Amino acid sequence: MSEIKGKLKSEIERLLREDIVDVVIAFRKEDSPLRPQPAFFRNTDELTNLEYNSLCQNNLANYLTRFPHDTRIGIVVRGCENRSVNALIVEKQHQRENLFLIGIPCHGIVDIKKIIKKTGEEVTEYSENQDEITVLVKGQKVTFPRKELLHDSCLRCVHPNPVDADVLLGDPLPEGDPSIARQAVKKIEAMDRDERYAWFQHETERCIRCYACREACPMCYCTECFVDHAAPRWVESDVSQGGMQAWHIIRAFHQTGRCTSCGACERACPMDIKLTYLTEKLNDDIREVYQFEAGMDRETQPPFASFNLDDKKRFVI
Amino acid sequence: METRPKIVLFQCQWCLFSEPDQHWVDHELPPSIHLVKLPCTGRINPLHILNAIQGGTDGIMISGCRPEKCHYKEGNLSALRQHDEFLNFLDYIGYEKERVRFAWLDLQDRGRIQRELADFEMAVAKLGKAKILATRAHAPIGGEHV
Amino acid sequence: MPEHDHNPYNPIPMHIMRAYYESNDHSLKSFELSFDNHKDSEAFFKKFNPGQFCQLSIFGKGEAPFGVASAAWEGEFVRFTVQKLGTFTQQIHQLKAGDPIGMRGPLGNGFPIGDWKGNNLVIIGGGCAFSSLYALTKHIQEPNIRPNFAEIIVVYGTRNSGLCMYKNDIQSWYQRKDMQIHQAIDIPEEGWGHHVGYVPDVVKDVAPSPKNAVAVVCGPPIMTKFTLPVLVELGFSPETVFTSLEKRMKCGIGKCGRCNIGSKYICKDGPVFSLAELQSLPNDI
Amino acid sequence: MTYILKKKKINQVLKGWFKNYDVYAPQKVEDYSQFFRLTSADDLVLNEPHNTRFPPKALFLPQSESLLKYDRKINQLKEAIPTPKPRIIFGIRPCDAYAVTLLDTVFNTEEYSDPYWKTRRDATIIIGLGCSEPCQTCFCTTTGQGPFNPEGLDALMTELEDSYSIETFTEKGEKLFSDLLLASESQQRKAQEIQKKAVESMTPAFDTTNLKHNLDQIFDSDYWATISESCLGCGVCTFLCPTCFCFDIVDEVQRNERVRNWDTCMFRIYSQEASGHNPRPTRKERTRQRIMHKYSYWIDHIGEIGCTGCGRCVRFCPVGLDIRAMLRAANTFESETINA
């Protein structure tokens, strides 16, 4: 895995040196090995801090919308990030010709909360290969199979490879199994109505409305979010049941046909709410009904942006 | 249910082709039915539906023109995909999807709105009072729920 | 449990006594509010000082802060001039005489009038922010208070003559021997017999002497921004120039943290600050 | 006085309190703990390595609470000031208890006392649990307290092997434990050793001597743009912070009540004015406000740093921003504005 980091470094160096891009969005080391941070490289001497491993848990496409369209951006993309970039391009949030996508086939993001749950947070060293994660905790080396530590949404990943990268670092990986991907949602669908609602209540009542899910999501780029809208106020402003349920229903629903299943919302949530269980359901539906997956290319409009007479009508009388 | 179920009717202002029907909807709806008149069903946002549900309505009826007859050419079609998916999603989190109906009315459907509403009211009455997602309530005094 | 009137979040019940438009385009409307309970009125006037503001409150609509535009001697009422700007002010504009309304206040520090004894006062205002200065001018016009100050110069600028507030009263100020009034509009108009130009330029023309004088500036941020240097140029020291800040506020009592600038809360430590104080605050306005 | 409470007797003690008090204690939710009212003594969890994820300030300043209710038809308001039963907060970490004393200086001032805060505060006894093994993300000794800081506590527990030694500081605290056996001298010594060891295990995270001065100096510099570049602008750091107190007042029209909700300077709409002007338009200004408020403005107000080093913002920042690293950078930052 560390050879990827070397390749990435020389690639970024090249992009900056040859003035192909103005800024490269990647990750950098922080004091704690568990928390690498999104970083913006503008010249090559900052690159000593460059980091790339499976702990890099943010979706970097999120930062694209902060830049003017004419900024030439190099960006590290894994499978889901590439799809997010595509989805943003479909929605005209940046221009493809001003982007340079450095693709990395992804072995899955390691969930820092799972590590801490197993070892505590006194982790001083971290290393990984394709199958195993090794951490140094209070002077002791502990090794886990990668599968045990992967984030839930990465366990369900179907497309680990970037679909539209300008350069691909590392060999493409086999596609994931869609039937596994659907298990999470299937499990909930199998419950009866009251159980489903109880589950939904249990998830949403922990929400503190910090909107980390919104801010971490590349597709949530609205200048004014519907919850911030004061006149009329459609969603109760407080942490009452109604306010929180409405937030989660509509947030997920606004992602219909746009969500790329990256799981960034869930990883950002400080209260461990299983946000992807909502968006995954919508993704499944969209796949089934409209044969569409967000971000697989940069032309196809999401289903809600188009319509035709033969659309499925499940509720019309 | 002892009292009649509370129903919200979202009505596209173009969908009732006969004058008596529109007059009935505008002036003679029973008090248990709350009318929300819209320029087109395409104007309905999932938030509107959710807001009605959270406010404790027992059933939601949406009446609109047939797709070919939309006053704005394709407004109701653009809404259809969203509403279809939205209700399916509400069902996923436990809401009774039978509580929402989408009626497409046509030129010859004179008097149909009354029939559909009566039929819907009966169906909703059978389901009983809506509890799921009906969440609007006073906060406990001084937020004592912590 | 504290008594009812100790809860600083409870609005005092008031009624609208009079409501009238101030500007020709109906964007500015004045409301004179009377107290439902005499007790509240006593408490209010015990604390009241021109330059302070109140939170007006309509149940179901919300609250917003407005500067008081009346002086205590005018009578047992409180005047506010409200500019129609957002959703809440639109709601307020719909109110008419006899309607109930809630009020919390007076809030904030107000003008340090006590410190200005014996000084000349230069009062410079622009737009609807003049309302607090109107309160100040009315206050010092009271026969018992007037001898505390020497010369009084008022400069009041608006975009056009139609937007000028308190027209009749201000017209009568021209007859007064104990004060000077300079009105200005931005663009020339037929029949306008006073200054034409932006407030900072008018101040330059009027050129009040800084000697033994205090200047008070209230207006839109852009006006304030350009007027303060003019005053400094004229020789006013930062300690003798005062202005009133506006910021988004909620609680009005220094708790909600919203109007925080540096170590000050605008609602509690302000809204009136001297230029010297402003210069010591971080550039976060 | 110092008492000894056997671990296996905790349940019995708690049950004794249930009669006269509402007891709030950490309980397990998913993979974390949060303060809730105990209904069964078995729900108590004291062995979590961290403090509760959701800050206990919510027990005094709930995230959402009704300020007043009203009847719009007759324009009449109804008070909504709480009337809490006497309460015990059991097992709070010293950093969070100290945070409550900091918030007292905001909500319980002479000029305006906040009745919602005050009634809850007056009805509450706070019993802390010191941290024998401070976490890597904690930095309470740096901000001037420590893992066994008694400020804001009525009693402080130190975990011994099969018991807790409980030091009481106030009459209220004393009253709760006076039935227990007094700690022996060796037990007291043991507790002191544990406390000392815990303090020594913590290394200073940043230098606070000139921090305020340094921050004030770089107010207009590009330091803020650098540190806030990857910030998402969510409310995790401020909502989980035990000393952040900003709130918003909103009329919930359909429910006929005026509520206040926590708010955060990290949101764009927080400072958005009706005129369209926003004094803090980007994440740079908003991050600056958050850090300056904690490390400079609090010092202006009460002479203390407004951070207790609880580490929540470090642990849960979605992009791994670490306030300690930011402050170290502030101490060493040299901008052109300073050199000029």
Are C124 and C216 a contacting pair, CB within 8 Å? Answer: yes
Measured CA to CA, the distance from residue A195 to residue C132 in angstroms comes to 60
Q: Which fold has domain C4-107?
A: Elongation Factor Tu (Ef-tu); domain 3 (2.40.30)
Same domain, A127 and A191: no
Let me know whether A73 and A116 are in one domain.
Answer: no
Separation in Å, CA C218 to CA A78, C136, C244: 55, 11, 6
In a domain, B141, yes or no: no
Contact A196 B92 (CB under 8 A): yes
Tell whether D29 lies on the interface with A, counting CB pairs under 8 A.
Answer: yes
Q: Is D8 on the interface with C (CB under 8 A)?
A: no
Q: Are residues A170 and A201 in the same domain?
A: yes
Question: pLDDT tens, D178-188?
Answer: 888 998 999 99
**Measured CA angle at C84 (ends C81, C89), to 5 deg:** 80
Q: How confident is the model at residue B146 (pLDDT cuts 50, 70, 90)?
A: very low
**What average pLDDT does this structure show over D6-29?**
91
Which helix (H) or strand (E) segment is C138 a member of? helix C130-141
Dihedral angle sign, alpha carbons of residues C266, C272, C277, C279: positive
Q: What is the pTM of this model?
A: 0.91
Asked if A44 and A123 sit in the same domain, the reply is no
C281 SS3 class: coil
Q: How far is CA D187 from CA D3, D57, D92, D179, in A?
A: 10, 32, 22, 18
Name, in order, each residue with C-beta under 8 angstroms of C64's C-beta and a sequence gap of 6 or more.
C55, C56, C86, C88, C89, C92, D274
Paired residues of C62 in beta bridges: C58
pLDDT of residue D130: 93
Tell how many helices (H) and how many strands (E) occur in chain A: 12, 9
The reported pLDDT for the residue numbered A203 is 92
- pLDDT band (50, 70, 90) for residue D235: very high
What is the model's pLDDT at position C3? 44
In chain D, where the domains are located:
2-201, 211-339
Q: What type of residue is C40?
A: D
C-beta atoms of D232 and A120 within 8 A: no
Q: Give the ranges where chain A is alpha helix by DSSP (H).
A: 2-17, 79-90, 112-119, 146-149, 152-155, 178-181, 183-189, 193-204, 212-216, 241-254, 264-268, 276-290
CB contact under 8 A, B142 and D259: no
D136-182 pLDDT, tens digit per residue, is 889 999 998 999 999 999 999 999 989 999 999 999 999 999 888 99
Q: Is the pLDDT of residue D109 over 70?
A: yes
d(CA A114, CA B120): 49
Task: Kindly state the average pLDDT of the residues D283-307.
Answer: 92
d(CA A116, CA A131): 19
Domain-by-domain residue ranges, chain C? 4-107, 113-244
CA-wise closest residue to B115 among B63, B42, B39? B63
CA distance B80 to chain A (A): 8
Handedness of CA A254, A259, A263, A264 (dihedral sign): negative
CB pairs under 8 A between A and B: 112
How many domains does chain B contain in total? 1
Assess whether A233 and A134 both reside in one domain.
Answer: no
Instruction: Give percent above pLDDT 70 in chain D.
Output: 98
Distances (CA, A) of D174 to C26, D14, D15, D154, D279: 66, 15, 18, 8, 50
| B41, B54, B83, best to mutate vs chain A, most A CBs in 10 Å | B54
Domain assignment present for A310? no
Tell me the CATH number for domain C113-244.
Answer: 3.40.50.80
Do A45 and A131 lie in one domain? The reply is no
In a domain, A317, yes or no: no
The pLDDT of residue B16: 85
Domain extent, residue A123, equals 112-149
pLDDT band at B140 (very low <50, low <70, confident <90, very high): low
- Residue where the block lists tokens 């299937």: A186
Q: Contact B137/D255, CB-based, under 8 Å?
A: yes
Q: What is the pLDDT of residue B142?
A: 53
CB contact at 8 A, A203 and A277: yes
- Note whether residue A257 is domain-resident: yes
Name the average pLDDT for chain D: 90
Cβ within 8 Å, pair D65-B143 = yes
Greatest mean pLDDT range, A157-161, B16-20, B78-82: A157-161
Q: What is the pLDDT of residue C2?
A: 39
Whether A137 and A74 map to the same domain: the answer is no
Contact A121/D324, CB-based, under 8 Å?
Answer: no
Q: What is the pLDDT of residue D339?
A: 45
Q: What is the pLDDT of residue B68?
A: 81
CA-based nearest residue in chain A for residue D325? A31
Q: Which of D81, D249, D296 sits opposite C63 (nearest CB)?
A: D249
Q: Note whether residue A166 is domain-resident.
A: yes
Chain D residue with minimal CA distance to B56? D254
Alpha-carbon span D329 to D295, nearest angstrom: 14
- Give the residue ranges of chain A where pLDDT is below 50: none
pLDDT of residue D338: 47
Q: Which of A271, A272, A273, A274 to mutate to test the interface with D (most CBs of D within 10 A)?
A: A271
Indicate yes or no: CB of B102 within 8 angstroms of CB of A242. Answer: no
Note whether residue B29 is domain-resident.
yes
Q: CATH no. for residue B111? A: 3.40.50
What is the sign of the dihedral through the CA atoms of A282, A288, A290 and A291?
Answer: positive
Q: Is the dihedral of CA C72, C74, C76, C78 positive or negative?
A: negative
Q: Given pLDDT bands bounded at 50, 70 and 90, which one contains residue B141?
A: low
Q: In terms of DSSP H, where are the helices of D82-179?
A: 94-107, 115-122, 171-177
Q: Give chains near B: 3+ CB pairs under 8 A.
A: A, D
Q: Do C61 and D251 touch (CB under 8 A)?
A: yes
| Chain D residues within 8 A of B144 when measuring between CB atoms | 82, 84
State the total domains in chain A.
2
Are A175 and A86 part of one and the same domain? yes
Q: Does A228 touch chain D (CB under 8 A)?
A: yes
Say which DSSP state D312 is in: H
Q: Does the structure show a pLDDT above 80 at B1?
A: no
Q: Read off φ and ψ for residue C172, nearest 5 degrees.
A: -70, -20
Taking contacts as CB-CB distances below 8 angstroms, the residues of chain D near B141 are 66, 80, 82-83
**Tens-binned pLDDT, residue by residue, of chain C (285 aa):** 334 457 889 999 999 999 999 988 899 999 999 999 998 899 899 989 999 999 999 988 889 999 999 999 888 999 999 998 888 899 999 999 999 999 998 999 999 988 988 888 999 999 888 999 999 999 998 888 888 888 899 999 998 888 888 988 888 888 888 888 998 998 888 888 888 889 888 888 888 888 888 999 998 888 888 888 898 888 889 999 999 988 888 888 888 988 888 888 988 898 999 999 988 888 777
